[in-house]
Every structure is written in C-alpha cells, then in structure tokens.
Structure 1
Amino acid sequence: MAKLFIACDHAAYLEKVELIKFLTKLGHEVQDLGPHSADRVDYPDFAREVCKEVQHEKGLGILLCGSGIGMSIAANRYKNIRAALCRTEKEAELSKQHNNANILCLGARINTQAELESITKAWLLSEFEKGRHSDRVAKFNDLGEVL
C-alpha cells in the first residue's frame, strides 16, 4: 500500500480526522499534514504540503475542503500533480484508471462522511490502466506552457 498524505482546511477538519481513522483501520499509513485544529486557515498552504510529498513520489495525497474545488485548483498548479475532485465512487475509479490521479480531492460540505469514505476506498482500490491512457497522461505536464 502506498503511503498517504492528507490535509484539509478548517471547513473539513472534522471529516479529515474521521477519514484518517477509517484509512488507518484499513491498514494504510497516513501522515496528517495539517491543520491540527478547526481554526481558520488558507487551503493553498496545505495543498502545497501534500503536493511536495506526492511530487517526490513518496505516496498519494488526499485533500479536503468545503467543496473540494479550491484544493483541486491549488493542487493542479504543481508539476506532476494530477488532482481529481471526485463526488462519486465511479469518478474516483475513473480518475485513477484513466488519469492516474495521484491526489484525491473531496468536498466535506458536499458529501457525507460515509460517502467520503466510500469514494476514498474506491480510489485507493483502483489502478491505472495504462495502455491508451499512458500517452494522454504523459501530455499533462506539457499543458502548463504558455501558447
């Protein structure tokens, strides 16, 4: 199992704590990169911390905020990061199978705790299918160039 790096903002703090418990029960090694309270924080700061770990291929990342949108936008600014905002198990599966997503973004105000757990589990159990998807995924890093 890959090591998991997780972070959130204040809106998703309680959901993150519960998700860590869930993942630990499944046998995953989880490193909590903050925050460590529900005090107001800026989500880009925590997205950066998870992205640094994932960029160095130390594991996979999970980011939570109120909607998941801010975290996904912030994370996808980093090279070699493929962050997917997933609201359903099917989206989570496809994000890994077709796009080799290395960070899962979740919305604590959108999904219930049970849904967050099932989406995360579906994502972790899915594998990149390679094949026709490999060339497409390889092109992601070229997309940041100004035309």
Structure 2
Amino acid sequence: MSKFGVYSPKGQRHTAPTPCIPLPRTGEGETITQACESGGGGCSELRKGGVPFSSVATFATMDAMAYPTRIALAADHAGFPLKEAVKAHLIAKGVDIVDVGTFSEKPVDYPAIVRKGCAVVLEQKCPGLIFGGSGNGEAMAANKVRGIRAALCYSEESTRLARAHNNANVMSLGGRLTETALALTLVDIFLTTEFEGGRHERRIQDLE
C-alpha cells in the first residue's frame, strides 16, 4: 500500500497508508470503496458520483476563519519544488500537513496523485493545495472528483474570489509560472478568506 507523509509543526514526519474512503452515493445509501493501487497509484475510484452535496468538504465554517489546522498537499514532479516551499511555510505557522507526494522531481503522472490529495480533503474536511507545472491539469483532475471545487489561482484577486464567491476547497498552483513569494501570499489569502454565501451558494449548488 502506498504511503503519504503527515508533518507536524515540529517538522516530524510520520507515515500512514493512503486512505481508502467509503463514500455514500447520492440518494442511494450505498457506498463506493476507494481502491488504492499499490506502488503510489492512488485511489482509482474517486470520481464523480461519490458524495452528496451536503457532505462536501468545506472549511468555511471554521471559527473566525482561523488558519486551518490541517492541510492536504499533492504535486507532480513539476510542482514538487513549490510544494516543498509551501509546506515549510505552513509548518512554520503550526499547521499539520498531509503530503501525499510526490517526493522528488522524478517524472510522475499527476492524475493519480491529485486523486490521493482529494481523498484526504474529503475524508478530513480540510483544504487542499495541489501543484503542477501550470496547475491546469491538476485543477482539471481535481474537479473530476465530486465534492471538490478546485480553482487555479494566479493572482491575489483570483485567489480571493475563488474562496469568497466559489467556496473552492482546493487551490491549484503552477510551480513553473508562479514565483515562490507570490505563491506564499496566495496560499495565505486562500486559507483565510471566508466564503460569502448568499447568491453564490445557490450557484454552487447548481454545479451539482
């Protein structure tokens, strides 16, 4: 079974199995058991049809929108350097990190890694940050998973609106297109901006 790293604010790393998550089908009361492929392939069945809207992972209701206590990270080889910089930034803020990989710049395919990150977001109801070269493919892969609302963030305003208007629970960043200093600013904005609700809630429900 593949492993992922849980990093405490003290910088200690613990390993745990990739989560296999039973998710209820909408209106059927049945479950889909996520089948984790050996060798780091990720959860192959995590896709649309998994969870009802009422169970969508969100962190908008945290008290006073405090910085989340746990965050999921996922990256391919192109996003690996930026992931590591963001991870250090978050650990310094006292956040527990669940890092599902990848753990080097050796080429890998992003869809399976993104699915593993989304599995953590849904299971633990925490935000997720995903990283690639441009971030486009990672966002596309994440949005195939029901309950995930991934936004490609490239500026302060696009990031603020991703949370305030779209209630995004996953942020996608392009490691080859985003300078580290800007990325850290965008991460802080994403993780501390509150969803405005109202008319935006109706539109998000219509996405289902």
Q: Shift of residue 108 of structure 1? A: 0.6
The alignment status of 1:78 with 2:145, answered yes or no, reads: yes
- Determine what percentage of the aligned residue pairs are the same residue: 36
What code does the residue aligned with 2:174 have? G
The alignment status of 1:111 with 2:178, answered yes or no, reads: yes
What code does the residue aligned with 1:139 have? D
| Unpaired segments ≥5 residues, structure 2 | 1-67
What code does the residue aligned with 1:121 have? D
SS at match of 2:79: helix
How far apart, in 1, do the equivalents of 2:204 and 2:139 lie?
17
**Structure with more helix by fraction:** 1
| Unpaired segments ≥5 residues, structure 1 | 142-147
Give the conservation status (yes or no) of the 8 Å contact 1:3–1:58: no
How far apart, in 2, do the equivalents of 1:50 and 1:139 lie?
25
Partner of 1:12: 79
Partner of 2:131: 64
Q: Shift of residue 135 of structure 1? A: 0.8
Q: Shift of residue 58 of structure 1? A: 2.7
Give the conservation status (yes or no) of the 8 Å contact 1:98–1:129: yes
How far apart, in 2, do the equivalents of 1:2 and 1:71 lie?
23
Q: How does 1:1-147 map to 2 (within 5 A)?
A: 1-141=68-208
Q: Shift of residue 27 of structure 1? A: 2.1
Task: Kindly provide the CA deviation profile for residues 101-141 of structure 1, in whole angstroms up to 9, marking residues without a partner as x.
Answer: 00000001111011111111111110111111111111112
With the length of structure 1 as denominator, give the TM-score of the two structures: 0.92
Task: Kindly provide the CA deviation profile for residues 64-100 of structure 1, in whole angstroms up to 9, marking residues without a partner as x.
Answer: 0000001001000110110000101111111000010
Segments of 4+ in structure 1 off by > 3 A? Answer: none
What code does the residue aligned with 1:85 have? L
Greater C-alpha radius of gyration: 2
How far apart, in 1, do the equivalents of 2:189 and 2:178 lie?
15
SS at match of 1:7: strand
Alignment RMSD (CA, Å): 1.0
What code does the residue aligned with 2:116 have? E
Give the conservation status (yes or no) of the 8 Å contact 1:69–1:85: yes
Matched positions, count: 141
With the length of structure 2 as denominator, give the TM-score of the two structures: 0.66
Give the conservation status (yes or no) of the 8 Å contact 2:69–2:94: no
Q: Shift of residue 2 of structure 1? A: 4.3
Give the conservation status (yes or no) of the 8 Å contact 1:2–1:60: no
What code does the residue aligned with 1:80 have? G
